[in-house]
Amino acid sequence: MTSDPSTSTTEKSLPEIITEFNESAFARLLSMTITDAHDGYARVTMDCAGKMNPSGVAHGGAIFALADHAFGIASNCGSTHRVAVSVSIQYLVPATGTLVAEARQVADTGTYASFKGMVYAGERTVATFDGVALSLSP
């Protein structure tokens, strides 16, 4: 399924949005799965298998991709269509196994929305991230 970026998410139901994100080529490539999502929130899982660096831990790019995917879902599960304009991540500890990323909206000016998130391996916090999204909705 292809998506027109100018299409407002108000034209799609939440289950349709979640399915679209879950079935995207990138999510499938990295085996990411949405386990919970609603306006301003998303929880996504990913197994690190096949995404390790030469040191035997999850590659930073894979961790970033998981965090960014959660941010994208959280920012687009409501009535506003948004795109990322800024994302930063802070890696705290090496990770292996199954990772979970959670993203939450913390502010919304109508034009920009701010999100904070965490990436976990079990009970251990692996990374924190911040994102800013621009509204494309009229």
Number of domains the chain contains: 1
Q: 105: domain range?
A: 9-135
Label residue 114 by pLDDT band (50, 70, 90).
Answer: very high
Average pLDDT of span 67-76: 96
- Asked whether residue 2 is assigned to any structural domain, the reply reads no
Label residue 11 by pLDDT band (50, 70, 90).
Answer: confident
pTM over 0.75: yes
Tokens of 138: 């009229």
Q: What is the CATH number of the domain that holds 45?
A: 3.10.129.10
CA distances from 8 to 12, 15, 49, 98, 102 (A): 8, 15, 35, 33, 23
Tokens of 110: 């109508």
pLDDT at 5: 45
**57/76 Cα distance (integer angstroms):** 30
Q: How open is the CA angle 50-121-30, to the nearest 5 degrees?
A: 30
Residue 39 dihedral angles phi and psi, to the nearest 5°: -50, 115
